[in-house]
Amino acid sequence: MASDPLYINDRITIAGWELTEQFVLAGGPGGQNVNKVSTAVQLFFNLVGSPSLPERVKTNAIKLAGRRLSKEGVLLIEASRFRSQDRNREDARERLKDLVLEAAKPPPPPRRKTKPTKGSIERRLKAKVGRGEIKKMRLRPDDT
């Protein structure tokens, strides 16, 4: 159980009771340390049922989570990048923070439709006429 809260920004803070950590054996290099010590961290966060996140942030985070989200709506972040348990724990919490920050970004402004300028229309038509002239030059010459 992760006891300390995770501060995302000035508006969003995830309480410590919402985060669950599980330590497992990590693969990869590390010698006997890998075989003996559970250094990899699995951080569980109930994304769908969390009271800490606004609805808009939840829906965006569900889209961003992808395969890391279970059918029940629990987000799983696995961190085994480092050889120490503490650094992997910090890494998992930082990755959760990055995901929530990305989901909390405001939506982009709507696209405004624009018309092409007169000059660009004229240039396009002139280029089309030029291509037509080039293709006419490829034809067989008249016998007259």
The predicted pLDDT at position 2 comes to 54
**66, 56 in Cβ contact below 8 A?**
no
Residue 128: alpha-carbon gap to chain centroid: 42
**pLDDT value of residue 83:** 82
The tens-digit pLDDT sequence of the chain (144 residues) is 556 888 888 888 888 888 888 888 877 766 777 677 788 899 999 888 888 888 898 899 989 888 988 898 899 999 888 888 889 999 999 999 999 999 989 999 999 999 999 999 999 999 999 999 999 999 888 765
- Phi and psi based region of residue 12 (left: phi greater than 0; alpha: psi -120 to 50; beta: remaining): beta
CA angle centred on 86, ends 82 and 90, rounded to 5°: 80
The stretches of 1-144 forming alpha helices (DSSP H) are 32-36, 55-65, 85-104, 118-137
CA distance 8 to 87: 18
Q: What is the pLDDT of residue 122?
A: 97
pLDDT of the residue at 30:
67
Phi/psi region, residue 79 (left: phi>0; alpha: psi -120 to 50; beta: rest), is: beta
Phi first, then psi, for residue 140 (nearest 5°) are -70, 135
Of the CA atoms within 13 Å of residue 135, those in its CB half-sphere come to 6
In the prediction, which pLDDT does 144 show?
59
The answer to whether 68 and 79 are in contact (CB under 8 A) is no
